[in-house]
Amino acid sequence: MNKISDAFRNKKAFIVFITGGDPDIETSEELIVAMASSGADIIEIGIPFSDPIAEGEVIQRADERALANGCTVDKLFEMVERVRKKISIPLLFMTYINPIFRYGKTKFMRRCEECGIDGIIVPDLPFEEREEISRDCKEFNITRISMIAPTSHDRIRMIAEGAEGFLYCVSSLGVTGVRNEIGTDAVRMIEESKKVTDVPCAVGFGISTKEQAREMAAVSDGVIIGSAIVRIIEEYGNRCVEPVKKFVKGIRSAL
Amino acid sequence: MHKKGRFGIYGGQYIPETLMRAVLELEEAYERYKDDPSFVKELNELLKNYAGRPSLLYYAKNMTYDLGGAKIYLKREDMNHTGSHKINNVLGQCLLAKRMRKTRVIAETGAGQHGVAVATVAALMGLECEIFMGKEDTERQSLNVFRMKLLGAKVNVVTSGTMTLKDAVNETMREWVSGIDDTHYVLGSVMGPHPFPTIVRDLQKTIGKEIREQTEAAEGRLPDAVIACVGGGSNAIGSFYEFIDEPSVRLIGCEAAGLGIETKRTAATIATGSVGIFHGMKSYFCQDAYGQISPVHSISAGLDYPGIGPEHAHLSDIKRAEYVPVTDDEAVEAFEYLSRTEGIIPAMESAHAVAYAMKLAPAMRNDQAIVITLSGRGDKDVASVARYRGVSINE
Domain with residue A173: its CATH number is 3.20.20.70
Cα first-last separation, chain A = 23
Residue A2 lies in a domain: no
Nearest CA in chain A to B288: A102
Q: Say if the Cβ atoms of B20 and A49 lie within 8 Å.
A: no
Residues B93, B30, single domain; the answer is yes
Pairing of strands A143-148, A119-121: parallel
d(CA A240, CA A230): 10
Residue A190 lies in a domain: yes
Residue B191 lies in a domain: yes
Reduced to 3 states (helix: H, G, I; strand: E, B; else coil), residue A62 is helix
Which of B150, B158, B140, B355 is CA-nearest to residue B257? B355
Reduced to 3 states (helix: H, G, I; strand: E, B; else coil), residue A240 is coil
Nearest CA in chain B to A174: B178
Reduced to 3 states (helix: H, G, I; strand: E, B; else coil), residue A121 is strand
Residues B161, B257, single domain; the answer is no
- Whether chain B has a CB inside 8 Å of the CB on A174: the answer is yes
B288 has pLDDT over 70: yes
Q: For the segment B224-270, what is each residue's pLDDT rounded down to a tens digit?
A: 999 999 999 999 999 999 999 999 999 999 999 999 999 999 999 99
Chain B interface, best mutation among A19, A47, A50, A155, by max B CB count within 10 A: A50
Report how many domains make up chain A. Answer: 1
Which of B345, B256, B240 is CA-nearest to residue B299? B256
Q: Say if the Cβ atoms of A173 and B13 lie within 8 Å.
A: no
Residues B156, B102, single domain; the answer is yes
Chain A residues closer than 8 Å to B283 by CB: none
B173 φ/ψ sector (left φ>0, alpha ψ -120 to 50, else beta): alpha
Question: Chain B neighbours among A 61-80 (CB < 8 Å)?
Answer: 67, 72-74
Q: What are phi and psi of A49, to 5 degrees?
A: -130, 145
Nearest CA in chain A to B166: A51
Question: What DSSP line would sit under A87-108, residue for residue?
Answer: --S-EEEE--HHHHHHH-HHHH
Which residues have a Cβ under 8 Å from the Cβ of B217 and sit 6 or more positions away? none
| CA A97 from centre of chain | 15
- SS3 of chain B: the string is CCCCCEECCEEEEECCHHHHHHHHHHHHHHHHHCCCHHHHHHHHHHHHHCCCCCCCEEECHHHHHHHCCCEEEEEEHHHCHHHECHHHHHHHHHHHHHHCCCCEEEEEECCCHHHHHHHHHHHHHCCEEEEEEEHHHHHHCHHHHHHHHHCCCEEEEECCCCCCHHHHHHHHHHHHHHCCCCEEECCCCCCCCCCHHHHHHHHHCHHHHHHHHHHHHHHCCCCCEEEEEECCCHHHHHHHHHHCCCCCCEEEEEEEEECCCCCCCCCCHHHHCEEEEECEEEEEECECCCCCECCCCCCCCCCCCCECCHHHHHHHHCCCCEEEEEEHHHHHHHHHHHHHHHCCCECHHHHHHHHHHHHHHHHCCCCCEEEEEECEECHHHHHHHHHHCCCCCCC
Q: What are phi and psi of A48, to 5 degrees?
A: -60, 140
Chain B residues closer than 8 Å to A54 by CB: 16, 18, 174, 177
Q: Indicate the DSSP class of residue A48.
A: P
Please tell me the distance in Å from A242's CA to the nearest CA on chain B.
Answer: 30
Q: Which of B21, B177, B180 sits opposite A175 (nearest CB)?
A: B177
d(CA B354, CA B351): 5
Report how many domains make up chain B. Answer: 2
pLDDT at residue B283, rounded to an integer = 98
Please tell me the distance in Å from A123's CA to the nearest CA on chain B.
Answer: 5
pLDDT at residue B2, rounded to an integer = 47
Q: Say if the Cβ atoms of B290 and A51 lie within 8 Å.
A: no
Nearest CA in chain B to A149: B18
Q: Which of A51, A100, A147 sits opposite B161 (nearest CB)?
A: A51
Residues B337, B210, single domain; the answer is yes
Residue B281 lies in a domain: yes
Residues B151, B292, single domain; the answer is no
Residues B315, B337, single domain; the answer is yes
Question: What DSSP line would sit under A125-183, residue for residue?
Answer: --GGGTHHHHHHHHHTTPEEEEEE-TT-TTHHHHHHHT--S-EEEE-SSSSSS--S---
pLDDT at residue A220, rounded to an integer = 96
CB B340 within 8 A of CB B232: no
Q: Say if the Cβ atoms of A98 and B276 lie within 8 Å.
A: yes
Q: Indicate the DSSP class of residue A2.
A: -
Q: For the segment A160-203, what is each residue's pLDDT rounded down to a tens digit?
A: 999 999 999 998 888 888 777 777 788 999 999 999 999 999 99
- Per-residue burial over A156-183, b if 16 or more Cβ lie within 10 Å, else e, is beebbeebbbbbbbbbbbbbbbbbeebe
Q: Say if the Cβ atoms of A147 and B17 lie within 8 Å.
A: yes
Residue B148 lies in a domain: yes
Q: Say if the Cβ atoms of B277 and A124 lie within 8 Å.
A: yes
* Boundary of a domain, candidates B150, B179, B200: B200
pLDDT at residue B394, rounded to an integer = 66
Which ipTM value was assigned to this complex?
0.96
What domain range is B314 assigned to?
53-83+205-388
Q: Say if the Cβ atoms of A129 and B14 lie within 8 Å.
A: yes
Residue A227 lies in a domain: yes
Please tell me the distance in Å from A88's CA to the nearest CA on chain B.
Answer: 28
pLDDT at residue B180, rounded to an integer = 83
Residue B235 lies in a domain: yes
Please tell me the distance in Å from A43's CA to the nearest CA on chain B.
Answer: 21
Provide the number of CB pairs (under 8 Å) joining chain A to chain B: 115
Residues B105, B231, single domain; the answer is no
CB B44 within 8 A of CB B200: no
| CA B10 from centre of chain | 19
CB B39 within 8 A of CB B99: yes
Mean pLDDT of chain B: 96
Pairing of strands B183-185, B274-278: unpaired
Residues B155, B252, single domain; the answer is no
Q: Which of B17, B160, B280 sits opposite A170 (nearest CB)?
A: B17
Pairing of strands B128-134, B274-278: unpaired
Count of CB atoms within 10 A of residue B101's CB?
9
B360 has pLDDT over 60: yes
Q: For the segment B69-121, what is each residue's pLDDT rounded down to a tens digit?
A: 999 999 999 999 999 999 999 999 999 999 999 999 999 999 899 999 999 99
Residues B142, B222, single domain; the answer is no
Kindly give the confidence (pLDDT) of every residue in chain A, 255 residues in length, as a single tens digit, with 9 standing for 90 and above: 589 999 999 999 999 999 999 999 999 999 999 999 999 999 999 999 999 999 999 999 999 999 999 999 999 999 999 999 999 999 999 999 999 999 999 999 999 999 999 999 999 999 999 999 999 999 999 999 999 999 999 999 999 999 999 999 998 888 888 777 777 788 999 999 999 999 999 999 889 999 999 999 999 999 999 999 999 999 999 999 999 999 999 999 999
User: Residue range B334-345: average pLDDT?
Assistant: 98
Q: Which of A74, A102, A151 sits opposite B180 (nearest CB)?
A: A151
Tell me how many degrees the CA angle A125-A129-A133 measures, rounded to the nearest 5: 75
Residue B171 lies in a domain: yes
d(CA B25, CA B17): 13
Residues B61, B128, single domain; the answer is no
CB B243 within 8 A of CB B251: yes
CB B57 within 8 A of CB B76: yes
Residue A40 lies in a domain: yes
Q: Say if the Cβ atoms of B277 and A101 lie within 8 Å.
A: yes
Residue B11 lies in a domain: no
- SS3 of B145-210: the string is HHHHHHCCCEEEEECCCCCCHHHHHHHHHHHHHHCCCCEEECCCCCCCCCCHHHHHHHHHCHHHHH
Q: For the segment A93-118, what is each residue's pLDDT rounded down to a tens digit?
A: 999 999 999 999 999 999 999 999 99
- Whether chain B has a CB inside 8 Å of the CB on A222: the answer is no
Q: Say if the Cβ atoms of B291 and A128 lie within 8 Å.
A: no
Residue A4 lies in a domain: no
* Boundary of a domain, candidates B143, B166, B200: B200
Question: Chain B neighbours among A 90-129 (CB < 8 Å)?
Answer: 97-103, 123-129
Q: Which of B1, B178, B290 sits opposite A173 (nearest CB)?
A: B178
Please tell me the distance in Å from B164's CA to the nearest CA on chain A.
Answer: 12
Please tell me the distance in Å from B288's CA to the nearest CA on chain A.
Answer: 9
Q: Which of B131-135, B174-178, B348-352 has the lowest mean pLDDT?
A: B174-178
- Per-residue burial over B107-132, b if 16 or more Cβ lie within 10 Å, else e, is bbbbbbbbbbbbbbbbeeeebebbbb
What domain range is A245 assigned to?
13-254
d(CA A180, CA A169): 18
The residues of B annotated with a catalytic role in the active site are: 86, 108, 375
Q: Which residue has the higher pLDDT, B139 or B324?
A: B324
Residues B187, B38, single domain; the answer is yes
Which of B378, B372, B389, B390 is CA-nearest to residue B141? B378
CA torsion, points A148, A154, A158, A160, in degrees to nearest 10? 40
Chain A residues closer than 8 Å to B278 by CB: 51, 98
Q: Say if the Cβ atoms of B16 and A131 lie within 8 Å.
A: no
* Boundary of a domain, candidates B200, B222, B253: B200
Please tell me the distance in Å from A159's CA to the nearest CA on chain B.
Answer: 10
Residues B74, B99, single domain; the answer is no
Residue A67 lies in a domain: yes
- CATH number of the domain where residue B380 is located: 3.40.50.1100
CB A115 within 8 A of CB A81: yes
